[in-house]
Amino acid sequence: MHSYIEALHDLLFPPQCLCCEQRLEASRLPLVCSACREGLRSISSPLCATCGIPFTTGVDHLCGVCLRKSYFFDYARSAMFYQPPVSNLLLALKFSNTTSTVASLKKLAEESGALSLFTVPDIIIPVPLHVTRLRERGFNQALMLARHCFPQWRRVIRSTVLVRNRATPPQSSLSGHQRRQNLKGCFQLTRSGLLAGKRILLVDDVFTTGSTINECSRILRREKPKRIEVFTLARSLQL
């Protein structure tokens, strides 16, 4: 009966690839055609044991940034490289919060194995959007990703603990140094005493230079949490 209803639904609303709109045979997740899936690259070893940046050869070790202990988080992992089809799906998610897009991203992240790389958190914090941007968009994509990727920990997601005070220019238009300046004083905690001794999982869509995640971690670190881990769906290597 269930498959009959599904078949009827597919007939009435033919499923399409979310990247190229090519017709798909069935509405099975992820809604990405086989041609678009060829661009998919999961991230796996060798990588930096701390920040998760992938290396081309060798075994896991610490990257230069982590050797200098420049990050305020303890551990970061991403599921996939930020390139099509993942980049198209993340852009689509920013403009319309459709369940099929976020569910497809979750499915791809699950297949990459990255969702099981984290310590059970006491609290999950999605990287916040500024309220103006949140109003324009109607939702925070980092929160949507946290809810879909970690449904087992849904009750520990706190989206109001960390807030963004300023709407900052898009990070993608800035250099590494400008990115850090751009973010100074941008994030703030709404209450203190909540994070001491806690294991925190920060969630965001893309890790590029790590400036955003690191600035959030710097603010969280003041509260003396036990551990800060970071999940980003994608990792971009353009610096």
Instruction: Please report, as ranges, the residues that interact with Zn ion according to CB under 5 A.
Output: 17, 19-20, 22, 33, 36, 48, 50-51, 63, 66
Name which of 88 and 112 has its Cβ closer to Zn ion.
88
* Cβ at position 129, least distance to Zn ion in Å: 26
Q: What is the greatest pairwise CA distance in the chain?
A: 60
Name which of 19 and 86 has its Cβ closer to Zn ion.
19
* Cβ at position 38, least distance to Zn ion in Å: 10
Closest of 2, 26, 3, 29 to residue 15, by C-alpha: 26
Instruction: Name the amino acid, one letter, at 42.
Output: S
- Report the alpha-carbon distance of residue 29 to residue 111 in Å, rounded: 11
* Cβ at position 63, least distance to Zn ion in Å: 3
Name which of 17 and 200 has its Cβ closer to Zn ion.
17
* Cβ at position 235, least distance to Zn ion in Å: 11
Name which of 44 and 190 has its Cβ closer to Zn ion.
44
